[in-house]
Structure formats: C-alpha cells, structure tokens
Amino acid sequence: MDTATTQAELRRRVDAWRQGGETVGFVPTMGALHEGHLALVRRCRELADRTVVSVFVNPTQFNEASDLERYPRTPERDAELLAGEGTDLLFLPPVDEIYPPGDATRVEVAGPAEGLEGAHRPGHFRGVATVVARLFHLVRPHLSVFGEKDAQQLAVVRRMTADLHIPVDVVGHPTVREEDGLAMSSRNALLSPGDRAAAPVLHRALVAARDRVAAGERSADALRRTMAEVLAAEPRVHAVEYAEVVDGESFQPLDRLPESGRVVLPIAVRVGGEGAGDGSATGNVTAMVRLIDNFQLDMSDFDETPSAAVGTRGADVP
C-alpha cells in the first residue's frame, strides 16, 4: 500500500490508474478504524479496480471543540489495517492540504440536512458536505462507499453529489454491529466499561420499534414512544436528543408509516460519564459519549397483519 499526503502525490497515482482504464473506488474516513470501516473497504475493492482510503479528522464538521479534541486518532494502526485489507492508496493529508490558507468556501445542503443531526449539531453537515466535495474533486473516484449507520449523512452526500453534478456513484453499505447489537463506531472507544455495557440500549430500542411495525403498528408517534420508553429504562442514558421516524429520502418526520418506500428510525443519545448509574449525585458531563444508530425499513417487506415478516433491511443485524 502506498501513502500520499499531498494533492500532487494523490493525483499522480490516480491519474495513472484512470489513464490505464482502471476504475477507482474511494472510502473517506476520519480514522480510528474498526471492522465497520474495513467492511466498506472490502465492498469498495469488490466494486472497483483500485481502492483509495482517506484518513482525515475534518475540523469543520465538529460543532464542539472538546469533541474534536477527544476524537480518537490512531494513524499507525489505521495504516496497518488498511494494508492488510489490500488498500491501494492511503490519503493522509494535513489540514492545510484540504483547507489551504485563505480558504473561504463552504457547501450548504438543505433538504435532508435539516432536522435531527442538522438541528442538534449546527454546522455539522456544512462541514461534511464541504470536505466530501473537496475529497471527491481531489480523488476523482468512479464510486465511493459510505456506511448506513450515518443514514442522514449518506442522504446529504447523495443530495450534494446529485445537485453539484459530481460524477461519483455513492454506494451505501449496511451497518456493521457488535455481537450485542451495538453499531460499530470510532466513538465506542471512548466508552467506559459500564457505559459500553449500557450502550446496546440503542439497538434494543430500535428492535422494539421494528417489532411493533412487524406486528402491524403504523402510527409514527407510537413508535417514537416505544423507543423513548426503552431508552428511558437505561440509567446511563442521560440525554435523548432524538428517537424519530422519518421518510427515508427527505428525512422529514412522519405521522404515519406508508405502505411502501423506505422509512428510517434514527436515534441519538448521550451515554454515561464518570459516576453514571453508580449512585453519584452528578456525572462528569465532559465524559459523556454521543452515539447514533438507526434502522432502515423497506415498507414493502411488511404488511399490516401481526404475522408480517420482519424486513431484511429493517433488521440490519444477522
């Protein structure tokens, strides 16, 4: 595996592949790689002749300075993992390679970027859209693979790519989970042992809502209440930012589930902190870890009878 740190190095390698008629796939990451990221790399290698992976902790998508500072960074381990997966090129740029001196341009996406993460993390999707657009223009891939755990982000990237006529096929890959259902995330490394044991409550809340859909429930408010009740039963969950039911394309809240189409159940919570759940009067707020998850339901897999089969995409787990 080769490593490029500058645009010139990156372009020299990618240009040679493209001129040779090879297709280029791209997986953008912020590092601290885990099995979920590696699954994206494997899928990319299946779809393209050459695979480029970027590791870049993007400062413009963090709306809390402490969150950026605490974000895990493991560049040497990341490089070893990517080499083991047969990655052709690691793009490891410094910040000023992506945001050069005098940088003054940002990409704003409306539509699916509004609400949920967009409301709770002001400026987040502006940073995401900006860095992905820049990386797409630098790498010039034929396709790019993103995880479906960040379902709203995937919708935003697809909207931006279509609106700006960027010739990249954006491919989604199902969420990869631990054995207890917790969605794999770089932030999981920040969880204390007790908080890690509590974190699968997100998955249990989603399963409970999905099971109600399989039993015939079509009221979005009923599903919101189901998820909220499961989350409220876990004392280490200190803040539920949202537990929603939204349209799979627009990410706007639903009143009632449709007969067909895609519905997303997204959750965002803050878990733990020193002293959480152990009888302490207060917890260490700075040690809380923000986790997100979702299930995506293909409503054509469900009918309105209690015997309805659970949709395969809705399950999102083995």
Question: Catalytic residues, which ones?
Answer: 37
Closest among 132, 121, 53, 107 to 85, alpha carbons compared: 53
In whole angstroms, give the CA distance from residue 23 to residue 6.
Answer: 21
Check residue 102 and report its DSSP letter. T
Q: Residue 220 contacts by C-beta under 8 Å, 6 or more apart in sequence? A: 245, 253, 254, 255, 256, 257
In whole angstroms, give the CA distance from residue 181 to residue 186.
Answer: 15
The alpha carbon of residue 11 and the mean position of all alpha carbons in its chain are separated, in whole angstroms, by 27
The alpha carbon of residue 162 and the mean position of all alpha carbons in its chain are separated, in whole angstroms, by 19
| Torsion angle defined by CA atoms of residues 163, 166, 169 and 170, in that order, rounded to the nearest 10 degrees | -60
Closest among 289, 189, 181 to 239, alpha carbons compared: 289
Q: Strands of the chain (E only): list them.
A: 2-4, 24-29, 50-55, 89-91, 143-147, 169-173, 237-243, 246-247, 262-271, 289-298
Q: Is 222 exposed, middle or buried (0-12, 13-18, 19+ CB in 10 A)?
A: middle
